[in-house]
Amino acid sequence: MVALFHFPASGAIVSLPIVANSWLFVDFFFVLSGFVIAAAYRRRLSEGFSPLLFMWARFWRLYPLHIAILCVMLLSEVLLAAGVVTAGREPFGPGKTLSEFFYAATLVNCFGLTDELGWNGPSWSIGGEWWAYATFATIEVAARTRANLVWLIVAGVALALSAFSGVPDRTFNWGILRALLGFGIGTLTFAIHKRYPFKLWKMASVIEIIIIALSALAVIFTPATLKFATPLLFAAVVFTFARSDGLISGLLKAPLLIRLGALSYSIYLWQVMLQARLLDGVGLFFPEYISRNSGGANVFAGPAWIGDTLAILMLATLIAFSVLSYRFIELPGQRFGRGQVHRINRSMVKMATRRCDES
């Protein structure tokens, strides 16, 4: 849905109201992430798992793919500067400056340091996710039994700032607020889920259908001035489906959807770059169908049926490419990170045991 939202083409698919508003599903991702990370690490951190090891593990989950794509984009700019390729624009221009590359590479591209989405635009949310991880580790270790209270304050402040700022879709311009709001709500949702582990039983399927319908309607019809609050509804979605009791929960366990879930990070980070290359290819054969927006990016402005065909082709290409990306970039990075964490953790345990024996 987010990839379709970012695809700059005319057509019935991209024009669907839910697609036009599906940038909100990034907020759903933050809520889901807060829930999952709390489920996986809250108890471990409270029992002495090192917050530095937690951050090291998350680094190897996020960074290999992120930096790989940035390096590919950097190479593209170098080739453009050398005259090897042409793109109808100057190399290292607005959105592609070296300072913006540094901000993206160091994951600070969600703190309002630039005036636009630079380099790989969607990666602002990866920066937001990283600092949400750091906030999570700090709160869980420092606050311990009062962690939920602190998260309530963090989410409340982020919600208030989002409400009064009048900017519902923050990205490079302090998108960290969206990240902390969604992540904090997700963490609190897990706390409620753990405290009240009731079953939905026979009403599960009905409740799941209702909550999905309400979410779709909210995404489509919520006024722009209130869209900042959609993470609260997404929390209800996560809370409901965490029970896994209903018919739709069963359908979501289909191998194809599980596979798409595994590929989702690659799909998300490669989308803009592959879309741009696809439109470059269209421009070679049908230049009359390609125009440029105010940022200098290609936009397909041909017949709607061709736009729909391109949207389907884009998704198929993106998924196929993500299979390779997951296999050769994500998985090796995850395996290396897990190995590093296990080795360091074993060394720390052995050192602690030796000190206990000596004392």
Half-sphere exposure of 293 (CA within 13 A, CB side): 11
Q: Nearest 5 degrees, angle CA 114-CA 315-CA 183?
A: 50
| Other Cβ atoms within 10 Å of 13 Cβ, number | 18
Give CA separation, 280 vs 24, 79, 289, in Å.
Answer: 28, 15, 11
Cα Rg of the chain, angstroms: 22
Q: Tell me the residue range of the domain where 220 lies.
A: 2-358
pLDDT number for residue 295 = 66
pTM for the predicted model, two decimal places: 0.93
pLDDT number for residue 348 = 80
> Residue 249 is which amino acid?
S
pLDDT number for residue 95 = 87
In total, how many domains does the chain have? 1
Burial of 131-159, coded b for 16+ CB within 10 Å and e otherwise, reads bbbebbbebbbeeeeebbebbbebbeebb
SS3 322: helix
Q: Say how many residues make up the chain.
A: 359
pLDDT in single tens digits along all 359 residues of the chain: 999 999 999 899 999 999 999 999 999 999 999 999 999 999 999 999 999 999 999 999 999 999 999 999 999 999 989 988 777 778 898 889 999 999 999 999 999 999 888 899 999 999 999 999 999 999 999 999 999 999 999 999 999 998 888 787 889 999 999 999 999 999 999 999 999 877 766 788 999 999 999 999 999 999 988 999 999 999 999 999 998 888 999 999 999 999 999 999 999 999 999 999 999 889 888 889 988 876 667 899 999 999 999 999 999 999 999 999 999 999 999 999 999 988 988 888 788 778 777 77
pLDDT number for residue 347 = 85
Instruction: Name beta bridge partners: 290.
Output: 300
pLDDT number for residue 235 = 97
Helices (H) and strands (E) in the chain, counts: 14, 2
SS3 270: helix
pLDDT number for residue 183 = 98
